Amino acid sequence: MELVYLLCSIISTTITSLLLSVLLPFRRISTADRRNSVSLYQGTVFHERRRPVHHSFRYSVRYALIDLDNAPDPPPNHLTAEEARSASHTNGPVFLLTIPPSVGYEQNPLSVYYCYDVEGETQTLTKCIAEVTNTPWGERVTFLFNPNSDLVAKPLHVSPFMDMMGKWSLRTNEPADNLHIVISVQHPELGNYFTASLTAKRVAPSSSDNHSWFFWLMPHKVALWIYWHALKLWWKNVAFVQHPRYQNSTYREDAIKRDEGICLCPSFGNKEALNHLRGAKTLNNRCFTWTDAKWPWC
């Protein structure tokens, strides 16, 4: 049944994107305010799986770094600046790194909120919030991490070729002219067997005035890479792992228990702060906030 839903979703998205692409040249887009609140980045995503078989790939990607306090149009389906500050217990500006929707389609395996503290005239990046979305299920998990280095129990089934027993090691630099994010997976049997990274540079505003054209079909390209390399892993006989919800209804609670054993992931704080995370279906007092997918995957 999920395969039928997936095919219907692909067909619907294709038709919608084609129609909106035809209309895109006729849209009147004001970019004056956006230039002051959005920085554009272009770079490369790199994935490497070392076990049980070696498989690696890279693709070009474009991201937007949005000043959530000054953006004229806050991005939909994401936290506001106040929500991010409440969750991270910071008092300064908040910037969201994400791939904006394009011609009716959104695909964001990873978005990151950079949350700053301000003391006097000093502004310091102290917390980050990761927003991870799986494909094709469309589920999302949100959690805090230390940008310098952090380790969290894997809370989401992000790939049908990985089980839930890994730990995610995350680190990122402060976004400036260069941006770098690294996530590696540490597994009790396979060891440090997987690494994903984003390396990007800021794009000069003069070369990217129209954001709609800059990100045209970018989410679609990301989705195509995901499905294409999933097919390659299947061809290489990597074991297919079914979504844990079909075998273990408590897999989210299990992730919380594993994370408590790590004791390195910072806490969101109290439940009142967590309630600001829109659409969350499951709340906890530690790191993870899950959001179930909309139709057809819910």
Residues contacting residue 172 through CB under 8 Å, at least 6 positions apart? 112, 114, 128, 147, 179, 180, 181, 182
> 289, exposed or middle or buried, with CB in 10 Å at 0-12, 13-18, 19+?
buried
Q: What is the pLDDT of residue 282?
A: 43
Instruction: List, run by run, the mean pLDDT of 10-residue segments along the chain (298 residues).
Output: 61 65 58 70 97 95 95 86 94 97 88 96 94 92 94 94 95 97 96 97 70 88 93 94 91 90 53 47 60 66
Q: What is the pLDDT of residue 261?
A: 83
Residue 37, Cα to own-chain centre: how many angstroms?
20
Q: What is the pLDDT of residue 23?
A: 60
Listed residue (164, 170, 135, 139) closest to 152, CA to CA: 170
| 119 three-class SS | strand
CA 200 vs CA 108, 203, 294: distances in Å: 16, 9, 31
Q: Scanning the structure block, which residue is given the tokens 């994935």?
A: 47
Structure tokens at 94: 């908040």
Q: How far apart are CA 199 and CA 97, in angstroms?
A: 13
Q: What is the pLDDT of residue 2?
A: 57
Cβ atoms < 10 Å from Cβ of 76: 8
Residue 134, Cα to own-chain centre: how many angstroms?
9
Q: How far apart are CA 45 and CA 60, in angstroms?
A: 6
Q: What is the pLDDT of residue 298?
A: 39
Residue 59, Cα to own-chain centre: how many angstroms?
16
Confidence (pTM): 0.87
Q: How far apart are CA 290 and CA 295, in angstroms?
A: 16
Cα dihedral sign, 184-227-224-153: negative
CA 137 vs CA 81, 90, 106, 107, 237: distances in Å: 27, 32, 13, 11, 22
- 140-145 sheet: strands from edge to edge: 150-153, 167-172, 178-187, 191-202, 38-49, 55-67, 94-98, 110-119, 122-133, 140-145, 289-291
Burial code of 146-166, b = ≥16 C-beta within 10 A, e = fewer? bbeebbbbbbbbbbbbbbbeb
Listed residue (199, 189, 134, 193) closest to 168, CA to CA: 193
